[in-house]
Chain A
Amino acid sequence: MTEPGSNVKVAVTIANKRIARYPFVSTLSGGERVSRRKINRKETIAGYLFLAPNMVGFLVFMVFPLVGSLLLSFSHWNLIQSPTFAGLDNYRQLFENPLFWQSLKNTAYFAFVGVPLQIILGLFLAVLLYSNIKGLEFFRTVYFLPVVSSTVAVSLMWQWLFDSHTGLLNHVLGWFGINPVPWLVSPKWAMPSVILVALWKGIGYNMVIFLAALKGVPEHLYESARIDGANRWQQFWNITFPMISPSTFFVTITSIINSFQVFDVTTVLTGGGPANATHTIVMMIYQYAFDFFRMGYASSIAYVLFGIVLIFTLLQLYFSKKWVHY
């Protein structure tokens, strides 16, 4: 049991031989895997058993509160007196609330501008940091520092940097003859500023996932590619990218989900202003639940958000068949 070596060694050799025959990895995609075996009873039981420890807690601690809040979304509840049945009132009112549309627009802006940048830069960084240069560990740590820093402390620092009056950023721009930018002050610039901070804070996160994924790409694939005369760009697109696509897929899905729930950075940096330019959906949820005494309404916002994110996730799952290779 404690000797994994022998089996694995054989297996790796077999696998390597196989892959070596097909330098361009698309043959490793998942389709083969699915049809490989028929469903059998033993495997079904094993599947449920492997799932069980997670599933039990999952049902209690995740699904139960979710169902609770779903029910609440059909109620009026001020958190103090008993909830009363509201039918679809909350949902109906929600769609008439201009703040909802504004927050949704802001959140989508944050997600659809921020997520691609996060992924591209994170991947770029991981590729750089995977290479054969000195001081890698140092750089990796440096890029990971913002991820571990507390949002509150770094937001304060960014406020300082963004300060329209005495801020360091405008000072530096001044050296290049660029006019001061009203970073957090103007409704037009506030969201880009927030995205910048989120990017700065989150890029190291994606970097780590991609680094781990890059480790999984067998070296000899590149060797055969080089023999075939592929340049680095081709190597990236034909080997690296398909090989790490499951991780890219993971990063895309979770980044979209997380970005649609952006809360911390906007709360500390701008409080949602100016003129609601950075007010996000989850800020709205929090506000309606705990400032406005409207838990039912807040729950309905959460479930509309759920629906939206679910649609995007399903779309991604659908399109993933075209570019994710297992």
Chain B
Amino acid sequence: MILEPINVANTTGKKKPISWSKLCAYAILSLGGIIMVIPFLWTVAASFKTYSDLFYNPYRLIPTEWTWTNYVDVFRQVPFHLYFLNTIKITAASTLGVLVTSALAAYAFARLEFPGRDFLFMGYLATMMIPRQITLVPTFVLMRWLGLLDTHASLILPGLFSAYGTFLLRQFFLTIPTELEEAATIDGCGYIRRFSTIILPLSKPALATLGIFIMMQVWNDFLYPMVFIQSDELRTLTLGLSIFRGDVDIQWNLLMAATTLSIVPMVIAFLSAQRFFVEGIALTGLKG
């Protein structure tokens, strides 16, 4: 049932014969993997099809006739490269910002004791329970007062103070044995030093996780850019994508090309973050 044991890959050097449970694991992973990957392949395939081909042969993963024109058209119809740059800029700023503010706040919630801590923490959780659709208008008014409408700051700033990120990191920080910090306290380390030399290095997997989630969230955010941004040169990818769905006469093949383009950077980001997921806590700590 619990298939392969929780063996860290790099700790066992011995070669073992392939066991049944391992075969089972492969079978399940492969079957699930196919289900997971097919829609993605379909999107990519559709991006190389003509409109008619897409409609007449929707399930063919290999286009009857490969065409690059969808990609060319995407760039010809909208300044997609600008949308890319804008989205990268916003995503990078937000992700870095969230990692800093969330890690600091999470440390306070997880490790420090001060009056009102649990109440404040509950307040953080509570803000996640109100859908953004309903705070849209007050947020718009706020942005107007701050003079931030139609700027990238209106998309970056509100994202920097993430209740979600704080909660995620708090949970991870809580799993770090307090003895580590106690030892450091004995050595005379202050809070900042304990935070930066013990908690942070040990939290690489958690930080990588949060980073990738925030990145995705900002990358795919639609509501705020749709309402706050007006100028074409400030638009984000999701706005570009939505424009391809703009009317009833949707050019699905172009939409698929645009979608494929917008997914690729996220896949690359995930692949590069994998390294951090793979590192174990013990390894991180001992490497120094």
A178 interface contact, C-beta 8 A: no
Residues of A within 8 A of B3 (CB): 127-128, 131
The answer to whether B161 and A57 have CB atoms under 8 Å apart is yes
Q: Kindly state the separation between the CA atoms of A10 and B266 in the bound complex, as whole angstroms.
A: 38
Among B22, B137, B201, B256, which residue has its beta carbon within 8 angstroms of that of A8?
B201
Return chain A residues, CB-CB under 8 Å to B220: 150-151
Given known contacts A61-B158, A216-B175, A148 and B270 CB-to-CB distance under 8 angstroms? yes
Chain B, 181-225, contact with A by CB distance < 8 Å: what is the 0/1 string? Answer: 111100101010101111001100110110011001000100000
In the bound complex, CA of A133 to CA of B271 (Å): 18
The total number of A-B Cβ pairs within 8 Å is 357
A275 near B: Cβ within 8 Å? no
A216 to B167, CA, bound (A): 17
Dominant secondary structure of chain A at its interface with chain B: helix
Asked if B62 is an interface residue, CB under 8 A from chain A, the answer is no
Check A69 against B134 for contact (C-beta < 8 Å): yes
- Stretch of A94-102, A180-188, A229-237 lying at the B interface: A229-237
Measured CB to CB, the closest approach of chain A to B162, in angstroms, equals: 8
Asked whether, in the complex, the Cβ of B270 is within 8 Å of the Cβ of A130, the reply is no
B residues near A164, Cβ cutoff 8 Å: none
A212-B172 in contact given A144-B270, A306-B130 (Cβ < 8 Å)? yes
Q: Which residue of A lies closest to B41 (CB)?
A: A145
User: Within 8 Å CB of B282, what residues of A?
Assistant: 12, 16, 218-219
| B248 part of interface (Cβ distance < 8 Å) | no
Contact A143 B32 (CB under 8 A): yes
Known: A150-B262, A152-B259, A306-B130. A142 touches B4 (CB 8 A): no
Check if B12 is an interface residue, CB within 8 A of chain A: yes
Given contacts A7-B183, A128-B28, A253-B125, whether A222 and B6 have CB atoms under 8 Å apart is yes
- A261 and B135 within 8 A (CB): no
Contact A212 B197, beta carbon cutoff 8 Å? no
Report the Cα distance A217→B135, complex, angstroms: 40
* Residue pair B180, A141 in contact (C-beta under 8 Å): no
A19 at the interface (CB under 8 A from B): yes
Contact B277 A285 (CB under 8 A): no
Report Cα–Cα, A313/B37, bound state, in Å: 34
Closest to B198 in A: A8
Which B residues lie within 8 Å of A213 (CB)? 172, 175
B140 smallest CB distance to A (angstroms):
9
Of the A-B pairs whose beta carbons lie under 8 Å apart in the complex, a sample of 19, sorted by A's number, is A15-B180, A39-B115, A44-B114, A53-B100, A61-B158, A63-B123, A127-B6, A131-B22, A133-B25, A144-B270, A146-B40, A149-B43, A157-B42, A158-B39, A212-B277, A218-B282, A254-B128, A306-B129, A306-B130
